[in-house]
Amino acid sequence: MDKIAILCSGGDVSGMNPAIKRFVEYSFAKGMQPFFVYNGYEGLIDNNIREAHYEDVAGIMTRGGTKIRSARSIRFKDATYRAIAAKNLQDKGITKLIVLGGDGSFRGMERFYHESGISFCGIPSTIDNDINGTDYCLGVDTALNIIKNAIDSIRDTASSFRRAFVIETMGRDCGYLALVSAITSGAEVCLIPEIPIDITQYKGCFESQIRKGRDYFIAVVSEGLKNANEVAQWFEEELGFESRVSILGHLQRGGNPSVYDRLMAYKFVTHAIDALLEGKNNSVICYSKSHFNFKSIDEVALNPYRLDEELLNLGREQFAPSHCQM
């Protein structure tokens, strides 16, 4: 019986537990023995690798996070520890590995594959949605819905007072979460690294809108800019609006996985296992233009991600100060 393992690396996302459930059930359906690697790459090094059974995944579909836990491993950057990790897998007869993670996790896996030759398939799993080669990463839909609910609730408060709210989303240096959330929530301002805008350029437009009756503002900013407090200060000093900063933080990672993330988890894992059985030994399963496709680990891990130009154009049109309604 072939042996296959799964691990989660880096930040957790809602959708990992549905993926883990599908992994166990589909592995057995394909005649393989599934294994869990607990604590990500740290678990590979520490030999925290155990057989998985149906009972291990009962009732986990609705839970955010990951049952098998995740970690960021400094040790895995060291070739000595990667050799230990490879030996632990080989000693258990595990020849295939599925990795749920982001760009850092895939860079580690790229090195690991070239050194050990262990077959693997990566599943993009990060709410940052910043993996090269895929339009969608597991967990993004749940995160966007959490942000949507937060902004809708904050708008209720903003509209009850004469206030400006500055809402900071996650995403590191990628503005995907902020941009999509701002567009779909009707925010007045969106500031992301990919669309450099100076908040001061909005002054004339916003003053005109205030004279015509606007009495609150919603600004969505990406954490990569590190300027949420400065934006709030600008609203107070330049427009005279009492301001509040809401940093959503790790709320965006957790929560009951959305229907879409549950479905994508099943599809990602199914394609990943099928690929390993078909002899694809070092790929990442990507989703673009409504289709699944495989890309080499080198192509995914060693190239930068760029936000979709169509989405960026929507943002430029919606939030450029020159397009602001006076």
Catalytic residue chosen out of the listed positions 2, 78, 91, 128: 128
Question: Per-residue pLDDT tens for 277-292?
Answer: 999 998 999 998 778 9
Indicate the length of the chain as a whole number: 326
Residue 169 Ramachandran class (φ > 0 left, ψ -120 to 50 alpha, else beta)? beta
Pick the CATH number of 3-139+257-304 from 3.40.50.300, 3.40.50.720, 3.30.70.420, 3.40.50.450: 3.40.50.450
Q: In the chain, which residues have pLDDT < 70? A: 323-326
Tokens standing for residue 40:
């990500």
Q: Name the residue ranges covered by the structural domains of the chain.
A: 3-139+257-304, 142-253
Q: What is the pLDDT of residue 234?
A: 97
Q: What is the pTM of this model?
A: 0.94
pLDDT in tens, 167-202: 999 998 999 999 999 999 999 999 999 998 999 999
Q: What is the CATH number of domain 142-253?
A: 3.40.50.460
130 has catalytic annotation: no
Which residues have C-beta within 8 Å of that of residue 136, sequence separation ≥ 6? 124, 129, 264, 287, 288
Which residue, among 91, 93, 86, 88, has the nearest Cα to 1 in the 3D structure? 93
At residue 326, the pLDDT reads 60
User: Residue 288 in contact with residue 133, Cβ under 8 Å?
Assistant: yes
What is residue 289's predicted lDDT score, i.e. its pLDDT?
77
